[in-house]
Amino acid sequence: MDRYNLSFSCQKFDKPEFTLISTRQLPTIFLCNDLAKKNSLPILINYDTLCPLRKLTLQLFKESERIIEIDSLETILNLVSIGKGIALLPKYLESEGNLSIDDNTFIINYYSYHYTK
């Protein structure tokens, strides 16, 4: 079994073999490819119920009929890039042709751990 010395996670670890090294923040924004259609596009979320981007999106939009679960981040990125949806994604993806739908930025914490055993 392979072991890694360093792990990054959006979930806090509560295991003695992992030592927290740092807590950092990832700025996220809602992105789409076509601002003219932003109000009619579905909101895409990850199928993974532990995904922090999913959790925040569901808090912000509650029970919207516009929400669609997608089973991979790659598919979400592809759908946003071709103008088929809106998704909460890391802000750095804005520079790859995707446009922020507004000026709101949301912060997601992530943690760096060192494996000590």
Domains and CATH numbers, the chain: 28-104 (3.40.190.10)
**In terms of Cα–Cα distance, which of 102, 116, 107 is closest to 31?**
102
Q: What is the pTM of this model?
A: 0.83
Task: List the pLDDT tens digit at each of the 117 positions of the chain.
Answer: 566 688 888 888 888 888 889 999 999 999 999 777 888 899 999 999 999 999 999 999 876 778 999 999 999 999 999 999 999 999 999 876 788 989 999 999 999 988 887
At residue 96, the pLDDT reads 65
Q: Output the CA torsion 20→23→29→33 (10° steps).
A: -50
Phi, psi of 12 (to 5 degrees): -75, 135
Sign for the pseudo-dihedral over CA of 59, 63, 68, 70 = positive
